Structure 1
């Protein structure tokens, strides 16, 4: 159904401004506005959006009180996903669940017009927590969380939406870096590299890098346009084991807390033996590693090739160190029989070969490094098939063991 009307040139801007003030872009009924072409007003037909009456009525509900301990910019921010059709449209094109996980463990639901991301479980009949859209679209977070992620949230005593997105990026990059080196990522090894300074009133908690030991650069200098993109993740019966303990308590804070943990200058003596192994290994890198580059690996078919490509961009020495550490840790893990160590697999990176010739990857030259980087990249992408057996079988390429394939394009169950 649609309606139309002609409006004058002067009323065009007024109509547009009115539409914006009414939030017609996201919620209420659409209207027609005028567009001027060659000095003459032209009629534009805009579709009338039919939102369920109950969703429209929610705007008249009273605001929830008792959250004065939360900063005003958090309390005052409503969500785009108060409209069910908008949430459904977004979910149709963005994966949320991990590969192989039944999507029925959670229900992804809109929020009401008066719900805020800092609100707790008051009046809820089922356990739920909020997530932001960009957790999945930009940072490649997937549900359910793994033990490392839940451990970090517990240690910080924050809900998922209470941890700032740059800090989530650090967490995601730290995990992929550890897995590429056959290390088990642990919460306190991760937090060793950061301080926290919770503020009052409560706002998004940021991890502050130690300049002397930081090994990951910032994902973004200013992470914008995320505050209005939250929705509910409701835990269903089949998902309780993923998110709840045996006694029914949550494995991490589901709602915002008024007392996030404060960390400052954590000492090595506070770490366990496994924590120290992770920290010691990462401290062997002298320069910072690219957080954005590591996050792109979650969308890669060949993670190790891409990681080594990022290392090569920083120079031969960093690439050589990474390859040496991988080889050392792979041998150590296999000798110890640690089959549960991430990335401990026998499959090798598959290299595309076209017409029996090696594929070449071009990188933009960098001053003083361009030729070396290209040579390194070509070596990484070299196919072992040229040295195959007499039977024509492809032989493994030494030293390249594949990470679990993680793709943001995989379909949800």
Structure 2
């Protein structure tokens, strides 16, 4: 039976850290990527990565249903934020990327080996020592879940279906737009050529006030309004095109009304939007968001997609929504809103008549809103 000399073992363990540091100091370890990893090193690194993701994913609260309504928005971000390394259907990875160590995987082949919680963890926080960055905004879990929903669809997408989802019929992507036309084409990938949005997760920007659109772009670029999608786009497009882009989309005609059959939910939303609820300190939304003489910094909410409005109100209520000057007011307004209130308002705005009105509201509401302002979208 082998005898273990514990004194010698303890001495070896004490010396080992210094030996590793000495080996690193003399340059023993080859950090060149051309030779690749030893097989045991590659196995260990992947083992450690998968184990860490699995463990940290245990704390992720997975929604009962992925936000499939927002898949197009995530697809619009994918070419700029992901495909450059991971490739996409019909868009193979570059030879330079294939020489990276470790090599970024083809997501269409690997995505099904991860659970939803694990994908969320990877997309939101990235992976150290691999070149996989964290999501650009750590405050927008809704965007991360939208990307998870898109990744679930990716394996089944062909080149044509992917291009339609990510670019649309007229959209295109240039890393740094050199012309106004290229900047517009970048925007239309999600907002559409008509500015009405290509999914219910994307706001209608056609016909919005020019100053509001300009302030929003500035807020996104400065990270005052957190968004891993729009923050990246606003910075990539560049300040020199912001004014022209705002003017372009402001000049587009807004969509016609999306009238639907009156429901209890819509009627509840209409009452809250037009009259507010003074006992709960909820002012009438339409005083600032639909009147003809509203502050140009306040967006029109009439005709906005229900899921978009619902998500923004939740962000305001939870203190996660940034702003371009008036968000602090909307955070106060949204704080007393219940989930039912938010659902009702979203349903109402999605089906309301688009014609600007002078809403029915108390004189006190009008006075308060003129003095305090209202939030951006």
Q: TM-score, normalised by structure 2?
A: 0.31
- Write 1 or 2 for the structure with the bigger share of strand: 1
Which structure has more relative contact order (CA 8 Å, sep 6+)? It is 1
- Write 1 or 2 for the structure with the bigger share of helix: 2
Q: TM-score, normalised by structure 1?
A: 0.29
